[in-house]
Each structure stands twice: as C-alpha cells, then as structure tokens.
Structure 1
Amino acid sequence: MRTLRTSATMRLLATFETLIAASAVYGGISLIVGAPGFTMPVEWLAPLGLTSWVLPGIALVLVIGGTLAWASVFAWRIDFRAPVAALAACGVLTGWLAIQFGVIGVRAPVQWVTVGLLAVLLGLALLARRRPATS
C-alpha cells in the first residue's frame, strides 16, 4: 500500500540521488576536460600508474553517476526495490571514497562533503526501507 509518507520519502530519496548523480557527472566531465577548479596534481595518481585525470573522470561519471542515476529511477517510480538500490549505491560510493582516501589521501573539502552526502543518502535509504505501521 502506497501512503503519503512513502511517496514523500521516495520523492526525497529520488531527488537526492538525482542531484548527487548529476554532481558526479558534472565533476567527472570537469576532470576529463581539466576545467578550472578541477585540475589537480597528476602525482596524486602515481599509486595507480595514471598520467592524467581522464580515467578517474570517466570512472566518476560511469560508476558513481551511473549507480546513483540507476537507483534514482527506482525511487522516482516508487518501486519497492528503491531502498535496496539506494543502499547498493551507498556501498558503491563508500568503496569509491575508500579507494580515493587510500590512493590520494584527504586532499580537498569536497571529500568531506561527499562523506556527509553519503551519510544523508544512507539515512534516506534506511528511512525508505521502513514499512508504514498498519492498523
């Protein structure tokens, strides 16, 4: 049974996922083209053997942007699988951040902003999992 609370929670989850996905796509494209504000030292990528930020940018678009966009489709449709898709996206984003912190360390405030966004997304996913009480 779809309640007003369920619909509102799903819409909030979908909106949040869509915004983070769009940010990941924007950030990834900006890394690929070397947009102002998105140029970082290539030396940070030495542990990966990369000589440019193109592959990390592509990965950001596809892995993070794609996963969150996929999850948002379920939430926009108010599909019962939306919370699981959101939790899967949280897992992917957590892995992304763990690799990022492990390879380049903590280098930019945007990393902590992303951790905060991940926490909010996790909270919304868990809220969406709750079943409304029935009388």
Structure 2
Amino acid sequence: MSTLRTRATMRLLATFETLLAASAVYGGISLAAGAPGFTMPVDWLAPLGLTSWVLPGLALALGIGGTLAAASVFAWRIDFRAPIAALAACGVLTGWLAVQFGVIGVRAPVQWVTAGLVVVLLGLALLARHRLAGS
C-alpha cells in the first residue's frame, strides 16, 4: 500500500511526464508540418543530409513524446518501474538535446528550457524512487 506522499509524488511525476509528452507530440507535428512559429532553416540539417524538418519532427513526436508517454503510464499506475521509466525518458531526452547541440548548435531558448525540464524530471524520478523505496 502506498502512502499519501508516494501517491502525490507519483501523480506529480505522471502529470509532468504527460505534459512533456503532449508538448513533444505537438512540437513534433508542428515542426514536421512547418506550422507558423515552427519553421527553421533547412540548412541547419545539412550535417544530417536532410532536406526538410519532417523526419526530425516525427522523431520528436514519436521518440520523445512516445518515451515520455510510456513513462507516464507507469507513474499513473503507481508502478514500481515508474522511476526507472522516468530516468530512461531523461536519458532519451538528454540524448536528443546532445544531438541537437552537436548538429545545429544552440539556436533557440527552447533548448535551454528543455534542458531545465530534464533536470526537473530527473529530480522527480529520484524523488519517486525514494518515496517508493520508503513505502
């Protein structure tokens, strides 16, 4: 039986992951579709040999959004695997940012905002792990 604190922590983790997943899906679809505010120069993708933002958009929606959505399911269920899934999502998102920084450089404030959100997710994952271990 989980304690009230554990349930509250897991709900916070689940909500955070769900919102991040929704943002990644929205951003990925908008990037792939070239929606206003989501258009970027294609020449940034030259190191990858890409000629459009469709594949990066789909990768963002499916890879990042999907990973975060899957992790949120564990947290909503208050499953003991939730912290591990959250840490895995942190790893995937950190890898995504590392590739971004390596390929296109630091081009937008959203990259730093995302890095900050990874730190928050990491903290929530570690807190959830601690709470689950104590309940």
TM-score per shorter chain, which class?
over 0.9
Aligned twin of 2:127: 127
Q: Offset of 1:45 from its aligned partner? A: 0.2
Identity of aligned residues (%): 86
Aligned twin of 2:18: 18
1:97 is the counterpart of 2:97: yes
Q: Offset of 1:122 from its aligned partner? A: 0.2
TM-score by length of 2: 0.97
Q: Offset of 1:74 from its aligned partner? A: 0.2
Q: Offset of 1:68 from its aligned partner? A: 0.1
Q: What SS does the aligned partner of 1:102 have? A: helix
Which runs of 5 or more residues in structure 2 are unaligned? none
Q: Offset of 1:132 from its aligned partner? A: 2.1
Q: State the one-letter code of the partner of 2:65.
A: G
Aligned twin of 2:59: 59
Q: Deviations over 1:74-129 (max 9, x none)?
A: 00000010000000000000100000100000000000000010000000000000
The structure 1 segments of at least 4 consecutive aligned residues displaced by more than 2 Å after TM superposition are none
Q: Offset of 1:42 from its aligned partner? A: 0.2
Aligned twin of 1:38: 38
Which runs of 5 or more residues in structure 1 are unaligned? none
Cα distance between partner residues in 2 of 1:96 and 1:88: 12
Q: State the one-letter code of the partner of 1:107.
A: R
